[in-house]
Amino acid sequence: MSIIQPNILVFSPMQTDVETYAESIRNNGFMSVKTATTLDEVEKYLPGTEVILGWNFPTHLLSKPIASSVRWFQSMGAGVNDLIEDKSIPEFIILTRIVNQFGTYISEYVFSFLLYIVKDNPRMRQSQMERRWDPFISETLKGKTIGVAGLGSIGAEIVRKARVFDMNVHGLSFSGKQASLVDCHFTPDQLSEFVKDLDYLVLTLPLTDSTHHIMTRDLLLAMKPKACLINVGRGLLIDEENLISVMQSGHLQTAILDVFETEPLPKDHVFWTMPNVFVTSHLSGPSTIEGVSSFFIGNLKRFLSEQPLHGLVDRKRGY
């Protein structure tokens, strides 16, 4: 029997965010909504809660008696490796993540950097600053080969935009379901073959046991010396020590990194000062309040009508 008006708890460390989420949910007819930003508030409101919309939630509480009524946890983000790793979360709690929300943002992020590099914008800007007339012929993305590791909704949008720039597109995925999107498709046992001819490698993979440090030293060295590596997936996809060593040896032209093994990136980390590394603050694919609210409300309606939820997490697969 479906729940008519579920008790919903919205959690985020940001007070403004939770109130905005709650208001959006109530505006869609679901009135039993509580908000929490602290551990004490979670412990106060968990009893009787059936649905949680959360970010950085204290998941250890989900195994306690006070959380026995919880049936579904909706993450505010796409990455759920922290939820997967927490074996204390009861199996009967459904886990979902945000999907189909980040492709536009992340693909624009990727191509803003690729165009910046291939058109040599720094040279043009420097010429302006020096008031120096400096005509030159830049390179083009046309005919370059881009490889997208991970062909979910984000990877698929990067592929679509690469087509607009007349690039050769290679892809790697575990399932092969989206193999038809790319010119050449590779499986995980073909990693070295996949990376060896790429001008640009974009990582959009989820973090699982099989993708942890998937970019090994040998794989980095298998890439073309002038290739560019872009990571918009998860920081732990790359062994950072090996990446630093490989790049300091002169191999790889550029690394564009939005995610890191430790976040925030420590102030003394060498990435900050490496001239061929671009560091950004895990901002390529933002979880907007409007987007997350819309996704959650759609899923909430599916939950109440006992339809399969979007973004359902497969704990065995890891995402």
Structure tokens at 180: 């038809």
| Separation of first and last alpha carbons in the chain | 28
Q: Which of 97, 170, 185, 234 is catalytic?
A: 234
Laid out side by side, the sheet with 8-11 consists of 33-36, 8-11, 51-54, 72-75, 94-96
The question of whether 269 is a catalytic residue gets the answer no
The question of whether 213 is a catalytic residue gets the answer no
Report the 10 Å Cβ neighbour count for 81: 17
Strand partners, 184: 170
Count helices and strands (H / E) in the chain.
10, 12
Buried b / exposed e over 227-240, threshold 16 CB at 10 Å, is bbbbbbbbbbbbbb
Determine the length of the chain: 319
Name which of 172, 145, 169 is nearest 158 in CA terms.
169
State the maximum Cα–Cα separation within the chain, in Å, rounded to a whole number. Answer: 74
Q: Which of 263, 290, 315, 317 is catalytic?
A: 263
The answer to whether the peptide bond before residue 206 is cis (omega within 30 degrees of 0) is no
Q: Which of 71, 269, 282, 310 is catalytic?
A: 282
For 227, the 3-state DSSP assignment is coil
309, 72 in Cβ contact below 8 A? yes
Name which of 30, 65, 31, 21 is nearest 46 in CA terms.
65
The question of whether 131 is a catalytic residue gets the answer no
Catalytically annotated residues: 234, 263, 282
